Amino acid sequence: MASKVIHAIYNDDDVLLLAVKQVREARYHIGEIYTPFPVHGLDKAMGLAPTRLAITSFLYGVVGLVVSIWMMQFIMIEDWPQDIGGKPSFSFLQNMPAFVPIMFELTVFFAAHLMVITFYMRSKLWPFKIAENPDVRTTDDKFLMEVDAANLNVDDLSDFLYKTGASEIKIIDNK
């Protein structure tokens, strides 16, 4: 099944943001937007749901805290207790002030590393993945809006996109 998409190129991020709002008001479906830098407010203009990555970061931090507590309990209290600097080695709670930096560092370590892994998995950025950027100019100074044109009048949609401020329009036939 063949589907058509239109690539509209914009020169300015403010024009792109206004165009996204106009395209959504006209009830056209925006497939993707490629920008050389993050555009503030673009996610809300596109109607994207808010991210839940902060929740996963908190959960990963909790996992890091639990692992650090379990690790210190096992290593320093149960497996090989030592008298270091006169500190008692038979109680986790008595050693807690000395363990706080370790708990903090492992919480941050787990949250940071697992968030990077989660981001790559969610974004489908695998090692040796071929780039899916449709126009290399979007990595420099251009902004590209990909609008689905299946079952639509392509000429009317192109005229509409030119009126929103697009400097260039390409019709792509995906097969």
Residues 100 and 149 in one domain: no
Looking at the predicted structure, is the pLDDT value of residue 2 above 60? Answer: no
* Residue (of 137, 129, 123) closest to 36 by Cα position: 137
Residues 162 and 101 in one domain: no
- Confirm whether 130 is domain-assigned: no
- Confirm whether 42 is domain-assigned: no
**Cα first-last separation, the chain:** 7
- Confirm whether 156 is domain-assigned: yes
- Confirm whether 101 is domain-assigned: yes
- The structure's pTM equals 0.71
144's enclosing H/E stretch is strand 143-148
Which residues have C-beta within 8 Å of that of residue 169, sequence separation ≥ 6? 6, 7, 8, 9, 158, 161, 162
- Confirm whether 8 is domain-assigned: yes
* pLDDT digits 0-9 by tens, 15-43: 999 999 999 999 999 989 999 999 999 99
What is the domain range of residue 16? Answer: 3-36+141-174
Residues 115 and 84 in one domain: yes
Residues 66 and 111 in one domain: yes
* pLDDT digits 0-9 by tens, 75-111: 887 777 777 766 666 777 777 888 899 999 999 999 9
What is the structure's pLDDT at 88?
Answer: 64
- Confirm whether 48 is domain-assigned: no
Residues 57 and 119 in one domain: yes
Domain count within the chain:
2
- Confirm whether 46 is domain-assigned: no
Check which CATH number belongs to the domain holding 159 and give it. 3.30.70.120
Residues 109 and 73 in one domain: yes
